Amino acid sequence: MNKIFIILLMVFIGSACTKENFIDTGKASGIFDGNILEYMKNDPYNWDSTVVVIEWAGLTSLFEGKDAQYPEITFFGPTRLSILRYMLNNGIERIKDVEPQVWKEMMLRYVISGKHMKDSFAVGDVDGGGDEFTAIAGNRIRVYRKLNPYKETPDVGAATLHIQSIDTEYSIVMIASADIEPDNGAVHSLVYGFTFGKF
pLDDT for position 2: 77
Closest by Cα among 56, 112, 118 to 83: 56
Rounded Cα–Cα distance for residues 1 and 3 (Å): 5
Q: Treating both helix axes as pointing N-terminal to C-terminal, what angle do 100-107 and 44-56 enclose, rounded to 10 degrees? A: 120
User: Residues with Cβ < 8 Å from 16, sequence gap 6 or more?
Assistant: none
Task: Please give the mean pLDDT across all residues of the chain.
Answer: 90
**143: domain range?**
31-190
CATH of the domain at 36: 2.30.180.10
In a domain, 179, yes or no: yes
Distances (CA, A) of 51 to 13, 39, 46, 77: 54, 10, 10, 11
pLDDT for position 6: 79
Per-residue pLDDT tens digits for 86-127: 999 999 999 999 999 999 999 999 999 999 999 999 999 888
In a domain, 162, yes or no: yes
In a domain, 10, yes or no: no
Question: 107 with 54: CB under 8 angstroms?
Answer: yes
Of the chain, the percentage scoring pLDDT greater than 70 comes to 91
pLDDT for position 10: 75
In a domain, 3, yes or no: no
pLDDT for position 3: 80
Single pTM value for the model: 0.83
Rounded Cα–Cα distance for residues 49 and 29 (Å): 24
Split into its structural domains, the chain has a count of 1
In a domain, 11, yes or no: no
In a domain, 86, yes or no: yes
The helix (H) or strand (E) run that includes residue 57 is none
Per-residue pLDDT tens digits for 60-87: 999 999 999 999 999 999 999 999 999 9
